[in-house]
Structure 1
Amino acid sequence: MKTLYLDCISGISGDMTLAALIDLGADLAYIEKHLRELPIDPFEMWTETVVKRGITARKLRLRVEKPRRGHHHRRAADILAMIDKSGLPPRVKRRSRAIFQAIAEAEGKIHGTGPEEVHFHEVGAMDSILDIVGVCLAMENLAIEEVYASPVPTGYGKVRMAHGLYPIPAPATADLLVGVPLSDWNAEGELTTPTGAAILKTLVKGFGPLRSMTIQRIGYGAGEKDFDHPNVLRAMLVRKTHECGERRNPAFSEAVDASGESEEAIAVLEAQLDDITGEALGYAMDRLFASGALDVFYTPVYMKKNRPGTLLTVLTLPESADRCERILLLETSTLGVRRAMWTRRKLKRRVVSVETPYGPVRLKQAFLGENLIRHLPEYEDVAEAARRAGVPFYQVYQAALHSHPDGEK
């Protein structure tokens, strides 16, 4: 699985993202070929090499002919229809549509109109259509499956837009950044545009620092303005360190210290139920574990009108949270699911095999620093050995537990 990490060191915009992806290796000819198949006005697209405060980066250049139909704005509904009817690759359609839909909803909310009736101004002009669809084509060309990003700086001050002078971040940008972690670092000027914010909002799976990743390639996309800092977006093609083998967190969500202990982010999903059978709860638990839940448990609670009920709690890695949330909505009677992000500290772990009179059994060991603090026999191994030998489960369990009390093989 190919993973993209967007390091928003100086914010993000559509043209910076496209330029960074081209610098990362996306084929400009592939992007142009698909863009020219859209019913849009003639254009030219190329990149130049520029230097931003000592960093060499790609700068996207566009030349767009005046609209044939004499207008400079397009309705959101028209843009979405254009994408739907196009011959773009399916994933490019989905991603492009999601970005434009998010922008339309933000603009509609600000201006008090329905999303489909929004007339795009700054974000709806031809160059932004090229930027957004171009970004999605570049990701398709690079075969990007998942996108992660750093917290993003917005900038501060004021920016002149179609309706007047606005504070930074602009209203639509601010709305799009709801739920997106913002960087502590800032500078005067607009660092993150509505298009950039929409890319983060719709395409990024999670936000955080660059951890537990192997960097494979790096690309830099330059912004238009010159600041006292490098005005670039850094795009990295990365491989998750734990991508193979045991299921682990998204790459940035786990930090491992020198002792081997780690702290990771987990999603906690909750729903309270008072009108569901025990059989349905059992089935839901099976579905949740099959969908990636780390743990599922039920707690007796008293609900409104003193009704006895069940609090259903699911612990899962962030990348499985959406799937588990969908299971809760489909397989239980709840009308809503609460979600929160927690952190948990994990001890360093190791699995060893010990010999018992009933056959080999695996032990899960836990270390605090270099000290072994506990080891527990693997349930399935104990159960299988007990069935095979025709002895009680506890007998095999104790034999495994005391085979090597020092934890060595």
Structure 2
Amino acid sequence: MNRLHLDCTFGIAGDMLLAALIDLGADIDRIRHDLQTLPLDPFELGSERVDRCGISARLLNISLGRHEHEHEHEHEHEHEHEHEHEHSHHHGHAHAHPHRRAGDILAMLGSADLPPRVQQRAQALFTAIAEAEGRIHGIDPAEVHLHEVGAMDSIIDILGVCLALEQLEIDTLTASPVPVGHGVVSMAHGRFPIPAPATLELLRHIPLSDFDAPGELTTPTGAAFLQVLVERFGTLPAGAPTRIGYGAGSRNFDHPNVLRAVLFEQSQATTSPRESIAVLECQLDDATGEQLGYALSLLLEAGALDVFHTPVTMKKSRPGILITVLARPADAEALERLLLRHTSTFGVRRHDASRQTLERRIETVTTPLGKARIKVGLLEGQILRTTAEFEDIQRLAHQHDLSFEDIRTLILESWRLGPKPSVADI
């Protein structure tokens, strides 16, 4: 079992991650071959070594048709063509990419001859991107036209990363907090402030760093990798690093324009990682049920991991409610302020704790009523829990006028009857 840590100190984009994985040892020839078996437009995939502020890193190069393409991530973010790749990076070509429906991309993946975990990760990534775009534009995710992320080079990035992770036998991913940069980015729908709408939507509940520089430091594809694949955010995990890879963006800046990927090897007997959390508490004896419910909603929307109420007896035997909030350490201060502002408490207690969690992965299952996601929990490679994602149950129940429980049962049954990754794949 291997763990990968992504050092996103200076940002992340899809091409930078793929380049870093190739630098770690993923076979670019195998990746190219596997990609060329799919119904994609003609392309060539290569890489070269470059220097970024004294750091030797690998730069990805993609040729689409006859157009040489220095690829997506320059961290300069000034575009010269209307489509403008998946983020705002200045490209060395002026051809337009076709815009693809999310549903078409997912259908292509569903019929592709790919390893199960590659297929599951890729489907989860494109599903997350489509849902983010759907929320922004107010349309069904399946009908979303993926302009920047639907471009051929971005599709190659996403599928290439999933293939590289499989080659390197990466089971879990962690990452540092991520910067977004500042400025204005031009996209298919016009000019927007950085971070782009899709990037910010995909960065919900992900800790941002305070590093700042002009330009788009994190792209929609990079944000999708963090949202879907990363299990924990923070500093480097405990353990012995075995290999380090650097993926470069295509421009030079005052900071190293690189993404660092650090590989840790883990034994099969390694227990699930412990996660540091903050526990916030306050007691109330004068709040109505409506006020408690409103505060609970605000806390969850602001990124709380969990919120719960416990009946307690306070001084002078007054009945009261203990509000407990579980939070990421980076979110704790903001959630404390929210409790002080939106409840009647005069103070909030905080203590740091740790929790052991199951390894998690998201799988996409095809049911007779449509696709849905399953959260799978593992301990030392053994599956212990399977849970259908609430949003997918709700969506299918609404679309087909069926009960929540009927849809939940259908999704879990479809997962049980479908093909599974082997233990070695997990």
Distance (Å, rounded) in 1 between the aligned partners of 2:387 and 2:104: 33
TM-score by length of 1: 0.62
CA-CA distance at 1:249 after TM superposition:
3.2
2:243 matched to 1:249?
no
SS at match of 2:358: helix
Sequence identity (%): 54
Contact 2:10–2:211, Cα closer than 8 Å, also in 1: no
Give the conservation status (yes or no) of the 8 Å contact 2:272–2:357. no
Confirm or deny that 1:190 pairs with 2:192. no
Task: Say which of 110, 114, 125 aligns to 1:99.
Answer: 125
Match of 2:98 in 1: 72
Q: Secondary structure at the match of 1:34?
A: helix
Aligned to 2:22: 22
Matching of residue 118 in structure 1 with residue 118 in structure 2: no
- Structure 1 consecutive aligned stretches of length 4 or more whose deviation exceeds 2 Å: 242-245, 247-250, 264-268, 298-302, 311-324, 326-330
Change (3 A) 1:120 1:329: closer
SS at match of 2:215: coil
Letter in structure 2 aligned against 1:25: G
Within 5 Å, give how 1:51-200 maps onto structure 2: 51-65=51-65, 72-200=98-226
| Separation of aligned partners in 2, 1:329 and 1:127 | 33
- Summarize the Cα distance change of 1:312–1:153 in structure 2 as closer, same or farther, 3 Å threshold: closer
Distance in 2, matches of 1:37 and 1:193, equals 27
Report the Cα distance in structure 1 between the residues aligned to 2:24 and 2:97, rounded to whole angstroms: 35
Q: What amino acid is aligned across from residue 137 of structure 2 in structure 1? A: H
Q: Which residue of 2 aligns with 1:375?
A: none
Aligned counterparts of 1:66 and 1:48: Cα–Cα separation in 2? 19
Rg comparison, structure with higher value: 1
Partner of 1:317: 355
Moved more, 157-166 or 126-135: 157-166
CA distance in 1: counterparts of 2:41 and 2:387, whole angstroms: 45
Q: Which amino acid aligns with 2:180?
A: T
Q: Which 5+ residue runs of structure 2 have no aligned equivalent?
A: 68-95, 281-308, 314-322, 327-352, 361-376, 379-383, 389-426
Look up the equivalent residue of 2:231 and give its one-letter code: K
Aligned to 2:249: 223
Distance 1:327 1:301 in 2: 32
Where does residue 44 of structure 1 map in the other structure? 44
Q: After superposition, what is the alpha-carbon deviation per residue over 1:65-98, rounded to whole angstroms, capped at 9, x for unaligned?
A: 289xx97111000000000100010000000011
- Give the alignment's TM-score, normalised by structure 2: 0.60
Measured in 2, the distance between the counterparts of 1:299 and 1:11 equals 41
Q: Distance in 1 between matches of 2:146 and 2:162?
A: 19
Match of 1:234 in 2: 260
For the residue of structure 2 that corresponds to 1:317, the secondary structure is: strand
The C-alpha deviation readout for 1:232-260, integer Å capped at 9, x for no partner, is 000010146x9856x4634xx4xxxxxxx
Q: Structure 2: how far apart are the matches of 1:117 and 1:300?
A: 46
Distance change >3 Å, CA 183–CA 36, structure 1 → 2:
same
Partner Cα separation in structure 1 for residue 356 and residue 99 of structure 2 = 39
Q: SS in structure 2 opposite 1:184? A: coil
Distance (Å, rounded) in 2 between the aligned partners of 1:145 and 1:203: 10
CA contact (8 A) 1:176 1:197 kept: yes
How many angstroms apart in 2 are the aligned matches of 1:116 and 1:243?
38
Against the structure 1 CA distance between its residues 239 and 184, is the aligned structure 2 distance closer, same or farther, given a 3 Å change threshold?
farther
Q: Distance in 2 between matches of 1:328 and 1:65?
A: 43
Shift of 1:320: 2.7
* Residue 212 of structure 1: how far off its partner (Å): 1.6
Retained in 1: the 8 A contact 2:279–2:324?
A: no
Give the letter aligned to residue 112 of structure 2. S
CA distance in 1, matches of 2:243, 2:100: 37
* Aligned-residue offset at 1:32: 1.1
Is 1:108–1:114's contact at 8 Å kept on the other side of the alignment?
yes
Cα-Cα RMSD:
3.5
Residue 300 of structure 1, CA deviation? 6.8
Gap change, CA 1:317 and 1:85, over 3 Å in 2: same
Q: CA deviation at 1:313?
A: 12
> In the alignment, is the contact (CA less than 8 A) between 1:4 and 1:236 conserved in 2?
yes
Taking a change above 3 Å as real, the CA distance of residues 112 and 319 of structure 1, as seen in their structure-2 partners, is same
Structure 1 residue aligned with 2:240: 214
What SS class does the counterpart of residue 213 from structure 1 fall into? coil
- Whole-Å Cα distance in 2 between the matches of residues 186 and 147 of structure 1? 24
Check the 8 A contact 1:110/1:172 in 2, yes or no. yes
State the alpha-carbon separation in 1 of the partners of residues 356 and 195 from structure 2: 28
Equivalent residues of 2:97, 2:151 under 8 A apart: no
Partner Cα distance (1:143, 1:15) in 2:
20
Shift of 1:267: 8.8
CA contact (8 A) 1:158 1:168 kept: yes
Partner of 1:9: 9
State how far apart, in whole Å, the 2-side matches of 1:133 and 1:248 are. 27
The 8 Å contact of residues 272 and 358 in structure 2, kept in 1 or not, is answered as no
Higher relative CO (Cα under 8 Å, sequence separation at least 6) belongs to: 2
Cα distance in 2 for partners of 1:321, 1:55 equals 33
Find the aligned partners of 1:200 and 1:265 in 2 and give their Cα distance: 19
1:202 matched to 2:240? The reply is: no
Name the SS of the counterpart of 2:50 in structure 1: strand
Query: Which stretches in structure 1 are left out of the alignment for 5+ residues?
Result: 254-263, 269-297, 303-310, 331-409
CA contact (8 A) 2:272 2:359 kept: no
Q: SS of the counterpart of 2:108?
A: helix
